[in-house]
Amino acid sequence: MIEVHHLTKRHGSRAVVDDVSFTARPGRVTGFLGPNGAGKSSTLRILLGLDRATSGHALIDGKPYRSIRQPLWEVGAMLDGPGANKDRTARAHLRWVAQSNGIPARRVDEVLVHTGLADASRTRISGFSLGMGQRLGIATAILGNPQVLVLDEPTNGLDPDGIRWIRRFLRAQAEDGKTVLVSSHLMSEMEEAADDYVVIAQGRVVAQGLAADVRGPHSTLEGAFFALTEECSDYRASGRREGER
């Protein structure tokens, strides 16, 4: 389970994450949705111990990420793509990561097959397409067969076939009882995969819950998403203009 409690991150006087709270539960895909610059990646970086919060806290199975000794066994994460040395092959990258966390080498072949990269396992990462790079990032995240997955924009830039594959992958992970938290800036990419939704704009949560909770009076989830995020942006812009007068 992932628990985020009143999380705030400030850069000077500006709050990039502003009192954010939500829970992602086992056996469910939680879509963390918002436009670019909404605060999604900042929230996930704090959750994964890469940044420190100004206030509030984020826990994974009741503890901060930084306290986990061998994190890949408990938490699989992908931020900013695969993060691999492009001169290495996919197999070499995964073997290095596995060794660093005491994961058996046989697991490398399993995740290569599972993510559809077996035939490209000896190809240098520099020759990978964007979709193959995203698959490698996911392969790295699931090396330790963790119970919690945190994926930042895994469908970014993918073609329809790649998006469909990731949707199926996310559903399968949740059906296996895992906690899956996925960020995206497009509701349409998550609508068929997510069980729960958290919508963030201008650093603040503007809606969360089941599809019906987020949809509200709108006819579609996508329509609700645009209305919610635009309302927040208009409110903030109006507030700044009033303060300038």
Q: Which tens digits make up the pLDDT trace of 93-125?
A: 999 999 988 999 999 999 999 999 999 999 999
CATH of the domain at 204: 3.40.50.300
Same domain, 159 and 59: yes
The strand ranges marked E within 127-220 are 148-152, 179-184, 196-201, 204-209
Which residue, of 91, 111, 145, is where some domain finishes? 145
For residue 244, the model assigns a pLDDT of 37
Token pair belonging to 19: 């009192």
For residue 102, the model assigns a pLDDT of 92
Same domain, 131 and 63: no
For residue 162, the model assigns a pLDDT of 85
Residue 63 to residue 51: CA distance in whole angstroms: 16
**pLDDT at residue 26 tops 80:** yes
Q: Which tens digits make up the pLDDT trace of 174-222?
A: 999 999 999 998 888 888 899 999 999 999 999 999 999 999 898 888 8
Range of the domain at 95: 76-145
**pLDDT at residue 236 tops 70:** no
**pLDDT at residue 67 tops 70:** yes
pTM for the model stands at 0.89
Residue 126 to residue 148: CA distance in whole angstroms: 29
